[in-house]
Structure 1
Amino acid sequence: MALENHAEQYADIRGLRLAYIDFGGTGTPVLALHGHFGRARMFAPLAAALAPGYRVIALELRGHGHSDRAAEHGPDAYVEDVAAFARELGLGPLIVVGHSMGGVVGFRLAARHPGLVRALVNEEGGALNRRPEIPHPVLDVRPWPRRAATLAELRRGVEAHGVPDAAYFLESAVEHDDGWGFLFDHDAMVESQEALIGDWWPDWLGSTCPALLVHGLDSFVLPTGMAREMAARRPGTVLRELPGCGHWAHDDDPAAFAGAVAAFLESRCP
């Protein structure tokens, strides 16, 4: 499924212009939510793997990708944006897939707007995001370069700040009139990550729909013990642990990730 065949569209949601990609089809709708610094396009491989039985629609949250920036970037604002977007599409109740911060937004959506969510797929979104359980809940991107002459120079500038591989972040890199830079605002992304610090257990336990928790066993963001506790404490939750995968399991092993999602959906949302 080629990305170029699925252009971004826009919806006016709560005073903002939000970008999204509808990967098409007539199957059961799936709403996909990226994590911090992410883009809707990251879900193209999953959409291809799930077609034609499922129609993946990936939203770019406020402040990310080509969606508008706003005065507030935090989990409450994201949840209400997603709820309004789901109602605008009129396709609910939806299956919601979320990665990292998008996973937290997804399970908070299910807790606060249960009529909108049929099932959850949470990839690496923790129920607890604070020190000391999570040693580094915020990636400070404020020192990163704002502009660079080339994409390669932008990569080097990011990796010089201790990022081993900048590929994920470079998905949000574009060429501006004055050089290469990111679509996201550096300060807003730090603000958004800081707003996600907290105890989200009540929201994780606050819904009753079927849920799949996907955990990369090499993740530095979601501890394995927490992932297992999340599955044990929430009825109707299936835990899939992916060996050799980290926080971005969907990139580390796309086939295993898509297979886990497909098997769950076929058993719980045929």
Structure 2
Amino acid sequence: MHGSFGRGTIFARLAADLADQARVVAPDQRGHGLSDRADDYGRAGFVDDAAFLLRELGMAPAVVLGHSLGGITAYQLAARHPELVSALIIEDAGPVMRQPEIAHPVLDVRGWPATAPTRHELARRIEAAGVPDAAYFMQSAVDRGDHWGLLFDWDEMMAVQKGGVGDWWADWLGSTCPAVVLHGGQSPLLPSDLARTMVARRPGTSFVTFPKAGHWIHDDAPAGLAAAVADFLHRLV
């Protein structure tokens, strides 16, 4: 499960790398990608959607991987529906998303550009609004024929982010299935000391750090991420 501003296709490289080892299902979550928008972007809705998908596809119990906000959804799913989750892979998501533990838990994207004549210009406008690299956001950019636009709404993404703000220690510690935390050593959203504490406090949890990666390990270290996931899956057998 992808994080805020993402879509399921961010895991295309991982799915290809694991093609001979696992079936990868990567949905667009509510308000993202090709999925419908929702009236509510609280935690319960995301968890309920994930539970419904697993039941509908007959995949439970499944190994559930989540990045960022999707990681919070993953461990909340395991805590609230343990029968659906056999193991957890948490990509750079911590047990809290709030200040002071996280300096900037919400990126203020209100009023950011949503359209442009070309893909290049849309990326330029997003970067000018406040990020040095728009690559992650541009994975949700599509050609509308007469312009380029995004598959998500900036204001709704504010609601998504705010819905993820909180203390989620009880959910993180609320399941007993095997788990691994994948940590980007340069990530601003999961400080190293917090990552090690979350691993130490939950029995059956292993830890892999990617020293040169930031928050988006699947982009910064795709081969290493695939290797870590494959190793974890192998140890589950």
TM-score, length basis structure 1? 0.86
Contact 1:103 1:124 in 2 (8 A): yes
Q: Secondary structure at the match of 2:72?
A: helix
Match of 2:199 in 1: 231
Contact 1:124 1:222 in 2 (8 A): yes
Q: Distance in 1 between matches of 2:137 and 2:163?
A: 20
1:153-195 deviation line (CA, Å, top 9, x unaligned): 1111110122011001000011225521110011110011011
- Counterpart AA for 1:183: L
- Counterpart AA for 1:239: F
| Greater relative contact order (Cα < 8 A, sep 6+) | 2
Match of 1:115 in 2: 83
Q: CA RMSD in A?
A: 0.9
Q: Distance in 2 between matches of 1:141 and 1:132?
A: 21
Q: Distance in 1 between matches of 2:65 and 2:126?
A: 28
Q: Distance in 2 between matches of 1:64 and 1:253?
A: 24
- Counterpart AA for 1:222: L
Match of 2:209 in 1: 241
Matched, 1:161 2:119: no
Task: Report which of the two has the higher share of strand.
Answer: 1
Match of 1:14 in 2: none
Match of 2:64 in 1: 96
Q: Distance in 1 between matches of 2:117 and 2:22?
A: 41
Contact 2:140 2:152 in 1 (8 A): yes
Matched, 1:255 2:219: no
1:128 to 91, 96, 120: 96
Residues 190-209 of structure 1: pairs in structure 2 closer than 5 A: 190-209=158-177
Contact 2:42 2:164 in 1 (8 A): yes
1:69 to 28, 32, 37: 37
Q: Secondary structure at the match of 1:81?
A: helix
- Counterpart AA for 2:100: P
1:49 to 17, 38, 47: 17
Deviation (angstroms), 1:74? 2.3
Contact 1:147 1:179 in 2 (8 A): yes
Task: Report which of the two has the higher share of helix.
Answer: 2
Q: Distance in 1 between matches of 2:43 and 2:150?
A: 22
Contact 1:83 1:116 in 2 (8 A): yes
Q: Distance in 2 between matches of 1:265 and 1:122?
A: 13
The share of aligned pairs that are identical, in percent, is: 56
Q: Distance in 1 between matches of 2:181 and 2:68?
A: 11
Match of 2:190 in 1: 222
Matched, 1:266 2:199: no
Residues 12-91 of structure 1: pairs in structure 2 closer than 5 A: 33-91=1-59
Contact 2:21 2:230 in 1 (8 A): no
Contact 1:147 1:178 in 2 (8 A): no
Gaps of 5+ in 2: none
Contact 1:108 1:204 in 2 (8 A): yes
Match of 2:154 in 1: 186
Match of 1:9 in 2: none
TM-score, length basis structure 2? 0.98
Deviation (angstroms), 1:80? 0.3
Q: Secondary structure at the match of 1:55?
A: coil
